[in-house]
Structure 1
Amino acid sequence: MFKFFKRVSTVVGSELNAMIDKAEDPVKMLDQYMRDMESDIREADSAVAKQVANEKMLKRKTDDAQAKVEKRQNQAEQAIEADDEDLAKRALEDKADLEHQAELLKESWEQANQDTSELQHKLDEMKKEYQQMKLKKDALQARAETAKTKTKMNRTMSAIGSDDSRKGFERMEEKVLQYEAEADTSEDYSHESRSLDKAFERLNTNNSKVNDELAELKKKMGKD
């Protein structure tokens, strides 16, 4: 009944590393250990309750036997006072048998009482150890969860800095630079085209103005 607690105490001392080495889930395994310990405690509680009941029964029988012994003693004394030696003798003979039974019952009760005390002491130790294991389990589970989170973050950060990720990032950067270069080239071409159009517009405007002035001058000088 109590062997499991000793085994768990040994296991919990180095359970985290052992479970990780075996690819076991520490959180689930520790929960299972606690459930097993709870089951052991319930079993021990039941055994102690039965032992207490047995010890009380033996104590009651021992007291009853001792009371009968005292009763036969009193009856023997009453028979002597009544000058009935035969009745007194019978009472004393029965008293002897009852004393033997009472002695056996007393020995059984004393042993049962000792066993009950030992079992209750062990049960108290189990419950105390269970509370200690419960606190340690909570701490170990917190450490396990923290370790899992760190591992996950480290893997994520490692992936971010991997060659594939870096090369992909650089490739996208080159594409963006290419898009920007194409946009600048397109803008320069558009600007040159507009500048050329404006130059011809100014030329046409100037020629028209010159032609108008020339025609006006000829008209004025009668050369038209």
Structure 2
Amino acid sequence: MFKRIFRIGQAEIHAVVDKMEDPIKMTEQGIREMKEDLEQALEAYAKVKALAIRTQNNTEKKKLEAEEFEHKAILILQKAQNQELDADKAENLAKEALLLKKELLAEATELTKQGEIHNHSAEELHKNVEVLKFNINKWESELSTLKARLKVSKATKLVNKQLANIDANSTISMLERMKEKVEEDEALSKAYAALADKNKSVVDEINSTIGGADSVNHELTALKKQLGIDVD
């Protein structure tokens, strides 16, 4: 009772900081407490079951003793019948034996009632044990699921946080600046090419127009012919 009252007090205290509690740790603590309750229930079940068995054994023992006293009463009466024992004494002894038989049967009846109570208690404890086992298995399964969900939620939270920290506007601005830089370099390259064309000399432009290299080749060929050198 005191344990339950203490736990109620704990629940009221923990309710204040409920949002700060770790659900995994809370579930693990709950399972530990249920396992402790299971151990106590198993111990209680074992004790009550043992008591029921001892009671049943005592009941059978009392019944056997009652049968023995009935048998002794018969033997005493037979001795009196065979004139081996005084009839009055035999009758008194037989009555005593039957009284002991009656007492033993009464004790056996009482033990039978006690045994039924013990068996009923054992059955109730067994039901509680099975309920606790079921709940522990259920909680452990839910704990495994909770842990898996927690891992997924943490990973998702981390990814979303990283995505949220990315400044989309700055990224776009950076791309725009890179585009402008490329276009600027391309324009500058064209400007340098145009400037190079303007810096050509008049001779270069003439040679470029009529093909200066080809006229030199023609002259070389003519000279070879004058000198009588074979021209390939």
TM-score class, shorter: 0.5 to 0.7
1:55 positional shift: 1.4
Instruction: Look up the SS of the partner of 2:199 in the other structure.
Output: helix
Q: Which amino acid aligns with 1:102?
A: L
1:137 positional shift: 2.4
Change (3 A) 1:87 1:66: same
Number of equivalences: 195
Q: CA RMSD in A?
A: 3.8
Distance 2:124 2:203 in 1: 115
1:190 positional shift: 2.0
Query: 2:28 — aligned with what?
Result: 28
Query: 1:221 — aligned with what?
Result: none
Query: 2:120 — aligned with what?
Result: 118
* Cα distance per residue 1:163-187 (max 9 Å; x no partner): xx254x4334323322332232122
* Cα distance per residue 1:137-176 (max 9 Å; x no partner): 25643664476367546744763564xx254x43343233
Query: 1:187 — aligned with what?
Result: 186
Q: Which amino acid aligns with 2:44?
A: A
Distance 2:35 2:138 in 1: 15
Q: Which amino acid aligns with 2:181?
A: E
- The answer to whether the Cα contact below 8 Å between 2:55 and 2:115 also exists between their aligned partners in 1 is yes
Query: 2:80 — aligned with what?
Result: 80
Query: 1:148 — aligned with what?
Result: 150
1:202 positional shift: 6.9
Instruction: Look up the SS of the partner of 1:99 in the other structure.
Output: helix
Query: 2:70 — aligned with what?
Result: 70
Is 1:60 the counterpart of 2:63? The answer is no
Distance 2:188 2:89 in 1: 144
1:45 positional shift: 3.2
Distance 2:107 2:152 in 1: 66
| TM-score for both structures, normalised by structure 1 | 0.65
Change (3 A) 1:204 1:47: farther
Q: Which amino acid aligns with 2:116?
A: Q
- The answer to whether the Cα contact below 8 Å between 1:59 and 1:106 also exists between their aligned partners in 2 is yes
Q: Which amino acid aligns with 2:111?
A: W
- The answer to whether the Cα contact below 8 Å between 1:73 and 1:91 also exists between their aligned partners in 2 is yes
- The answer to whether the Cα contact below 8 Å between 2:49 and 2:119 also exists between their aligned partners in 1 is no
Unaligned runs of 5+ residues in structure 1 are 12-17, 213-224
* Cα distance per residue 1:102-144 (max 9 Å; x no partner): 1453144123312222123203321442354246425643664
Instruction: Look up the SS of the partner of 1:201 in the other structure.
Output: coil
- The answer to whether the Cα contact below 8 Å between 2:55 and 2:114 also exists between their aligned partners in 1 is yes
Percent identity of equivalent pairs: 10
Distance 2:124 2:206 in 1: 120
| TM-score for both structures, normalised by structure 2 | 0.63
